[in-house]
Copies of this chain bind each other. A is one copy, B any other.
Amino acid sequence: MTKLLVFGHQSPDTDTITSAIVYSHLKQSIGEEAEAVRLGEINQETQYALDYFEVEAPRLLEDMKADHQDVVLVDHNEFQQSAVNIKELTIHGVIDHHRVSNFETEGPLYMRIEPVGCTATVLYTIYKEHQVEIPQHIAGLMLSAIISDTLLLKSPTCTERDIEVANQLAKIADVDINTYGFEMLKKGASIDGMSAADIVGNDAKSFELNGHTVRIAQINTVDPVEILALKDDLLQNIDERIERDNYDLYMLVITNILDNDSIVLTKGLTDKVDAAFDVKVEDSEALLKDVVSRKKQIVPPLTNAFNA
C-alpha cells in the first residue's frame, strides 16, 4: 500500500478540511503513513479555524497520480461529491455521517458512519478507541467542525453525542464554545470579496434523485438582504451552471444563522421545490421556514418529491 491520501468532498467546508487533517493525524499516531489533501478552495470560516489553531491547510490535490491510489474518504461517500477519478482508486476507509448512496468498493474496507451531526464526532470516538491523546490544535479543529456543521449546536442534525463531544473538545482546545463559535460562523457568513459565482458555488453538492441531477449550494449569513441585493447576478450564474453542467435543478440555500430560516434561489425543476417544502417558488425565490440543514431538512423531502 502506498501512503494513504485522506480527503473530504469537493467544495470543502470546515468538517471536510479538518476531518482530513484530524484523521491523518490519528493514522500517523498509530504508525501509518497518511497525508491530508483537499479537492477545492478553503472557505473563510475554515481559514479562520486554521489560523486560530495555527494549522496549515492541506495541499490542494490537482492531479491524482497513479502511485497515490490508496485513499480514505472523510465527510462524504457519494462518488459524485468525491475525486473525479474516484472509481480508479482503492478506497481503504470511509469516516462519515451522511446517508450512503452511489458508493461501492471492489473489496472489504474500514467504514465508520454514525448518524450524528459531524464527522469530527465520529473521529473523537475513534481516538478514544485507539487511546490516542488529542492535542490542543487537533481538538480545536474538531470543535470547529462541530460548530460549523451544527450551527453552534442548534441545527436539527445536532445530537446529544455532538454536544457531549463538543464540550470535551472545548476543554482540551481551551476555548469558550459560544464566543469562539460565533466569531468563526460570522467569518464564514461574510461575503466580503466573494463574487456572485463564489456565492452560487459555495459548499455545493450534487445529488442523484430518481435519475435527475440536483445541485444544492448553501451559504450562511447574518444578513440575507446583503446577499439578495445580488439576486440578478446570482440567478444569471445559476442559469450558466445549469447550461454548462446539465443540472435538472439548482438550489442556492441562503441560511440565516441568527433566526435559522433559509431563503432559496432556485432554477430548473422548481415545481419539485414547491412540492417538497409546500411553498410556491415565485420569481425563482422561496422562504424555507426553520430549514437550516441540507442533509436533514432539504434532501429527504426533495428525494420524496422526485420519487412521487
Contacts and interface: CB of A to CB of B under 8 A. Distances in A.
A105 B100 contact: yes
Please state the number of chain copies in the assembly.
Answer: 2
A37 B102 CA distance: 28
A110 B115 contact: yes
B104 A108 contact: no
Nearest to A103: B100
Given A110-B114, A111-B113, A114-B110, A101 B104 contact: yes
B104 A115 contact: no
A112 interface: yes
Contacts of A105: 99-101
A190 interface: no
A102 B103 CA distance: 8
A187 interface: no
A51 interface: no
Interface string A125-148: 100010000000000000000000
Nearest to A125: B129
A64 interface: no
Contacts of A100: 100, 103-105, 109, 111
Interface in A69-101: 97-101
Interface in A240-271: none
Nearest to A104: B101
Contacts of A102: 104
A295 B99 contact: no
Contact of A109 (B99, B103, B104, B300): B99
Contact of A104 (B97, B99, B107, B300): B99
Contact of A99 (B97, B99, B106, B113): B106
B113 A295 contact: no
B115 A112 contact: no
Nearest to A92: B115
A303 interface: yes
Nearest to A91: B100
Interface of A: 97-116, 125, 129, 295-296, 300, 303
